[in-house]
Amino acid sequence: METYKIKFEPLGLSGRCRADESLLACAQSTGIGIISLCGGEGNCQSCRVQLLEGTASKPTASELKAYSRQEIKEGWRLACQTYPTSDGKVGLPPASLTTTQRVQTEGQEVGIEPEPVVVPYQLKLSKPSLTDAQADAGRLLKALNRQHRLRCDSIDIGALSQLSPQLRSWNWQCRASVRGDEVIAFGPWPSRQLGLAVDLGTSKISGYLVDLDSGRTLAAKGVSNPQISYGEDIISRISYATQSAAKATQLQKLVVRALNKLAGDLCALTKAKVGEIVDAVLVGNTAMHHLLVGLPVKQLALAPFVPAVSRAIDIKTSRLGLKFAPGAYLHLLPNIAAFVGADHTAVL
């Protein structure tokens, strides 16, 4: 299928647009956030752009309703309704772009005694030799279980892939982060363990970086949910996600990318590394929850409005593409119903 080069000003970014692809879709695939409160249905008139050069499809009824004849002559269009028919240049007014919002993350911190599910253990291992050539993983598990009276029998494969060079660089002393009967991460001794708490909202995302040893919040930050360019409300997101598996995956990747950036920003504020995040917890409404994990959402919008799952979920962060400690888990609190999610559970 024929494609056209579209340049977006004043950003100076260019993308390739198929003949069957709207300017809104082209902008989104180029990484440009254009507000589309109705999810590209042509109803909200929030994705206003100006065609500066090139040709495009004829104005639709939605566009004729949104603009005067003079504005149409000047090239004003709705990005979701406009399909290019040649290479072109598109002007993006500031009001049409998604921007960073002021997200409130402040609150009264309550002192509690932390009980982290991930426990750090100090280890000192004997060095291998010609008479003691035991594998590094076996040597570590044996020392861990003997020195701390545990029954750990597995090491996360991501953590294991880094173990051999780490042990040698740390002179056979380390911190083993244990969750249940699994070692999920390693670090030098002494080193800290961090946790990340996230409130995933429809329009905003709030993140809190926590020291798991003291329970103290080290940093907090809020950002816009980038999915807003695909619809302002839950129903618009569900409508977009159910159009195809690719579009559902697109929404998932947007949030994962935002969470990785948020974690990186929080760690930068405290001179920490994202690899020190060994545990994470997330709450959000049921639709945001399902879209992040990759669960179907169509049934959420249809009577009797049944979620795919209501119990709590623990999932490896690496499976979602979250770049924390190699074997870190993400804990998602239970949902109550289709439109009563884990964000409500969190305050009970």
Q: pLDDT digit string (tens) for 112-135?
A: 777 899 999 999 999 999 989 999
Domains of the chain by start residue, with CATH: 3-96 (3.10.20.30), 118-187 (3.10.20.880), 194-345 (3.30.420.480)
Instruction: Give the pLDDT score at 348.
Output: 46
pLDDT at 344 over 80: no
Instruction: Give the pLDDT score at 234.
Output: 86
The least confident of 85-99, 101-115, 214-228 is 101-115
Q: Are 196 and 207 in contact (CB under 8 A)?
A: yes
pLDDT at 109 over 70: no
Instruction: Give the pLDDT score at 115.
Output: 86
The least confident of 112-116, 237-241, 246-250 is 112-116
Instruction: Give the pLDDT score at 338.
Output: 52
Q: The tokens of 106 are what?
A: 């402040």
131-137 contacts: CB < 8 A, separation 24 or more?
136/163, 136/164, 136/167, 137/163
Per-residue pLDDT band at 321 (split at 50, 70, 90): very high
Q: Are 77 and 23 in contact (CB under 8 A)?
A: yes
Instruction: Give the pLDDT score at 105.
Output: 53
pLDDT at 35 over 70: yes
Return mean pLDDT, the chain: 89
Host H or E run for residue 118: strand 118-124
Torsion angle, alpha carbons of 248, 254, 259, 265, to 10: 180
Secondary structure (DSSP) of 141-197: HHHHHHHHT----EE-HHHHHHHHHHHHHTTTEEEEEEETTEEEEEE-SS---EEEE
Q: The tokens of 118 are what?
A: 């991930």
**Mean pLDDT (whole number) for 293-308:** 91
**Mean pLDDT (whole number) for 8-22:** 90
Q: The tokens of 321 are what?
A: 């593409």
pLDDT at 101 over 70: no
Going by C-alpha positions, the residue among 213, 294, 240, 324 that lies closest to residue 36 is 240
Backbone angles phi, psi at 334, to 5 degrees: -70, 145
pLDDT at 100 over 70: no
Q: Are 332 and 316 in contact (CB under 8 A)?
A: no
Distance separating alpha carbons of residues 223 and 102, to the nearest angstrom: 8
**Mean pLDDT (whole number) for 32-59:** 89
Instruction: Give the pLDDT score at 340.
Output: 58
pLDDT at 15 over 80: yes
Q: Tell me the chain's radius of gyration from C-alpha atoms.
A: 25
Distance separating alpha carbons of residues 10 and 227, to the nearest angstrom: 22
Q: Which residue shows structure tokens 């076996």?
A: 138
The angle, 0 to 180 degrees and rounded to 10, between the axes of the packed helices 234-241 and 286-293 is: 30
Cβ atoms < 10 Å from Cβ of 77:
25
Instruction: Give the pLDDT score at 313.
Output: 94
Fill in the DSSP letter of residue 207. Answer: E
Going by C-alpha positions, the residue among 260, 249, 259, 263 that lies closest to residue 201 is 259
The model's pTM: 0.75
- pLDDT 10s digits, 137-151: 999 999 999 999 999
